[in-house]
Amino acid sequence: MLTPPGTVAILAYEGLCVFEFGIALEIFGLPRPELDIPWYSHQVVAVDQGPMRAFGGLQIGVDAGLEALETARTIIVPGWRSRQEPPPEALLQALRKAHARGARLLSICSGVFVLAATGLLDGETATTHWQFAQELAEHYPLINVDPNVLYVDAGQLITSAGSAAGIDACLHLIARDCGTHVANSVARRLVMAPQRTGGQAQFIVAPVSKSPRNELSGVLQWIRENLDQSPSVGDMAARVAMSERTFLRRFIETTGLAPKAWLQQERLNRARELLESTDQHTASIAQACGYRSVESFRAAFRNAVGLPPSTYRERFGRREASPQAALKANPATDATWRTATA
């Protein structure tokens, strides 16, 4: 049984950014009985004293003051009212103390300026909305600012780009705590695509469409259905009758990633699904997802997810089947794999 993921403290302040606040409240504050797992508890935490009004004049009700940050497992900074205004020292001290005891801090959009002011991001990579990236880098030169990604997971510190990227960052945290299948279930309830990986570009010129109007949709779907193969860029380009140069340009415009990075992302997403929902042996999953050896699969998976496949399965799925059970279930596949990797 999953361990309860703890309390999420969502900061509220005078001039609150309503959309960013709504993202955090919708994702972590809404009950989700359909998931049938322990879910987050949440508190709205006041940064300022007295009545507070959000952008647009809405008055904000809160559950607690900054003392609540002493016990929260996760703290969300939903934007900040002014990039030029230093956050209150009491808030900065509370965030530093929370981080020191192991709490996770997640910023959405301009909320990164609050985390930057604590000094906790010094020496780390972080992101924010592309419009604010240069300003962040100039004011906080010790932070490695990456303006090209949706979010950055630095362990206890997660920073996200423009407002909607905060949804992806929050879903990513759910995947860390509860597994990809749970994050994707939440995404479906939000009526949005499954969580995007953090390395995806903030700008995607031509989003992938299920309709035939996007000429790459067919080849992308073909790749997803044949992840055990290793098509070259030339093979992909030939399927849509393009030159390799034109195909590469259109591919990056469409997905935000180069073909190799996109293929790696799709393979690892599929591997996570199989680890969570099946008893297939690790070797079979590695083969199905296009890895030449179990060792290369384990290395890629651990580098991307932070856990080896076996530990991920123990935490989020069924127990991994033994080699004998996998052979009994599919002797031909297992024999072929052992021969190929001997």
User: Which pLDDT value is given to residue 342?
Assistant: 28
Residue type at 284 in one-letter notation: S
User: Which pLDDT value is given to residue 198?
Assistant: 57
State the burial class of residue 84 (Cβ atoms within 10 Å of its Cβ: 0-12, 13-18, 19+): exposed
Per-residue three-class SS string for 285-324: HHHHCCCCCHHHHHHHHHHHHCCCHHHHHHHHCCCCCCHH
Instruction: Give the pLDDT mean for 252-265.
Output: 86
Among residues 256, 284, 311, the one where a domain terminates is 256
User: Which pLDDT value is given to residue 193?
Assistant: 64
Q: Is pLDDT of 340 > 90?
A: no
Same domain, 246 and 276: no
State the burial class of residue 280 (Cβ atoms within 10 Å of its Cβ: 0-12, 13-18, 19+): buried
Same domain, 223 and 283: no
Handedness of CA 82, 128, 187, 217 (dihedral sign): positive
Share of the chain above pLDDT 90, in %: 58
State the burial class of residue 184 (Cβ atoms within 10 Å of its Cβ: 0-12, 13-18, 19+): buried
Count the domains in the chain. 3
Report, in this order, helix, strand and coil percent for the chain, each rounded to 5.
50, 10, 40
Q: Measure the CA–CA gap between 324 and 276, rounded to whole angstroms.
A: 20
**Does residue 280 lie within any of the structural domains?**
yes
Q: Measure the CA–CA gap between 147 and 56, rounded to whole angstroms.
A: 28
Q: Are the CB atoms for 145 and 133 separated by under 8 Å? A: yes
**Does residue 28 lie within any of the structural domains?**
yes
Q: Is pLDDT of 267 > 90?
A: yes
Q: Is pLDDT of 321 > 80?
A: no
Same domain, 181 and 318: no
Q: Measure the CA–CA gap between 105 and 74, rounded to whole angstroms.
A: 6
CATH number at residue 294: 1.10.10.60
* pLDDT tens for each residue of 52-81: 999 888 899 999 999 999 999 999 999 999
Q: Is pLDDT of 214 > 80?
A: no
Q: Is pLDDT of 331 > 50?
A: no
Same domain, 243 and 273: no
Q: Are the CB atoms for 143 and 136 separated by under 8 Å? A: yes
* pLDDT tens for each residue of 187-206: 888 877 665 655 555 544 33
User: Which pLDDT value is given to residue 62?
Assistant: 95
Same domain, 74 and 164: yes
State the burial class of residue 74 (Cβ atoms within 10 Å of its Cβ: 0-12, 13-18, 19+): buried
Average pLDDT, the chain: 85
Same domain, 72 and 174: yes
CA angle 215, 251, 254 (to 5 degrees): 75
Q: Are the CB atoms for 262 and 251 separated by under 8 Å? A: yes
**Does residue 302 lie within any of the structural domains?**
yes
Same domain, 241 and 295: no
Same domain, 230 and 93: no
Q: In 3-state terms, what secondary structure has residue 202?
A: coil
Rg over CA atoms, the chain: 22
Same domain, 134 and 251: no
Nearest Cα to 112, choosing from 64, 60, 147?
A: 147
Q: Is pLDDT of 292 > 70?
A: yes
- Full residue range of the structural domain in which residue 323 is found: 261-340
Backbone angles phi, psi at 42, to 5 degrees: -145, 155
Same domain, 99 and 163: yes
* pLDDT tens for each residue of 7-48: 999 999 999 999 999 999 999 999 999 888 999 999 999 999
Q: Is pLDDT of 215 > 80?
A: no
Instruction: Give the pLDDT mean for 149-163.
Output: 90
Same domain, 273 and 239: no
Same domain, 94 and 118: yes
**Does residue 207 lie within any of the structural domains?**
no
Residue type at 102 in one-letter notation: G
CATH number at residue 67: 3.40.50.880
